[in-house]
Amino acid sequence: MERMAIEVLAGLMALSATPLFLDLALCIFGNLFPAQRPHADVRRSIRLAVVVPAHDEEAMIARTVASLQAADSGAEILVVAHNCSDGTARAAAEAGARVVELNNCKLRGKAAALRHGFAAALDGGANAVLVVDADTVVSPNLIAATRATLELGAEATQCRYELELPACGAESGAVHPLARLRALAFRGMNVLRARGRAGLGFSAGLFGNGFALTASALERVPFDASSIAEDVEYHTRLAEEGVRVYWVGEAFVHGHSPRSSKAQARQEARWEGGRLRVASRTTGGLIFALLRGRWRAAETLAEVWSLPLSRGMIVLLLSAFLAVHWLHVFVAACAAIALLHVLQTALAGSEPMRDLAALAAAPVYIVWKALITPLVLWQSRSRAEWARTKREAHQP
């Protein structure tokens, strides 16, 4: 009886880790190939508007608008000042953006701001929208590269999205190892896995910042996401309807990374808890899409049920203590996959040796992730609400 209980526990451990490591293995292989691009015999005309949802972003909005203007001075930049209690609207207007205000306490969260911004952009004559967060710096080619991919026939795109590395201490350029490790994990999720999916012909995914949608995509799949992980939720809807997100890897957005551990914990819990809630709500729809022949939905299903890599490693460590031979083989194979993924992720950055050195802080990071588990579960409840991550004013 005891042996049977151990075997059942081993099976549950392997089952919880399988989506993550299967997805990683596919993406490692996919990164060996260039991302597939859309093909069109005739380029279509794209009038692109940039929609920037902003809630109390007075400290950073001007930097974001200036970055977008440097990328393309001719593109309309539309800032949605959503339930702001500070000078976000004024700062955005002074920086040169078109500002629309949404002041309605019943319409909360980023998804509500995006719906308002999409409607305003399309009413203004745009036939595609590019979403950029209000704490972001973009590459000079972002708008041009996104527009070019849409002109070739893509209905949705996602560019490379990474975290800025916050400096610490008095030494110029010094970065705390945990901050570097967090940015490395973020790159693995939002760059390496997205690029690998694109290399295999799957949908790259949406990550909430640096993604674009055409008016036809929004008409086919209305943006009615309502969870705190609106990007993941909407991507599952696109996958269900067979709309593929194309990868624009030559352009990037760099989002703000909070310095305080409290703010980081809230942000991580919102990301993880929101994904868990979305997974529980969308599994049935994705399975139905597979039954209808939408084969790309299989990868999306694996994505939404994948544990974060740090939590996957916790599962492997616990599994190693169970006296089950086949489980030990499984753990060894998954550990090898994780190592290859981390190496690929580090090599994709500008400072691979420093990124790899930061892995010395991995045990501390894993313990920290375990400690915030109750907060993750709290954010996965049905009535969880989006909450703004506290920003620090940009230090040039």
Closest CA to 211 of 267, 141, 282, 133: 133
| pTM for the whole structure | 0.90
Tens digits of per-residue pLDDT, 3-52?
Answer: 888 999 999 999 999 999 999 999 999 999 999 999 877 788 999 999 99
pLDDT at 373 over 50: yes
> Which pair of structure tokens corresponds to residue 395?
């230090």
Round to whole Å and give the CA distance between 205 and 37: 15
Q: Which residue has the tokens 């989506």?
A: 19
Position 351 in a domain: yes
Give the structural domain span for 288.
2-33+127-379
Q: What is the DSSP string of 178-210?
A: HHHHHHHHHHIIIIIHHHHHHHTTS-----SSS
pLDDT score recorded for residue 167: 58
Q: Are 126 and 187 in contact (CB under 8 A)?
A: no
> Which pair of structure tokens corresponds to residue 331?
């753990």
Position 56 in a domain: no
Position 385 in a domain: no
Q: How many structural domains does the chain have?
A: 1
Tens digits of per-residue pLDDT, 75-104?
Answer: 899 999 999 999 999 999 999 999 999 887
pLDDT score recorded for residue 264: 75
Position 110 in a domain: no
> Which pair of structure tokens corresponds to residue 262?
């409290």
Position 326 in a domain: yes
Read off the pLDDT of each residue in 102-120 and give the average, rounded to a whole number. Answer: 86
pLDDT score recorded for residue 170: 44
Name the DSSP letter for residue 359.
G
Q: What phi, psi does 172 have (nearest 5°)?
A: -65, 130
> Which pair of structure tokens corresponds to residue 161?
């999205």
Round to whole Å and give the CA distance between 329 and 186: 28
In terms of Cβ atoms closer than 10 Å to its own Cβ (0-12, 13-18, 19+), residue 1 is exposed
Position 121 in a domain: no
Position 71 in a domain: no
Round to whole Å and give the CA distance between 285 and 278: 11
Tens digits of per-residue pLDDT, 181-222?
Answer: 989 999 999 999 999 999 999 999 999 999 999 999 999 999
pLDDT score recorded for residue 173: 55
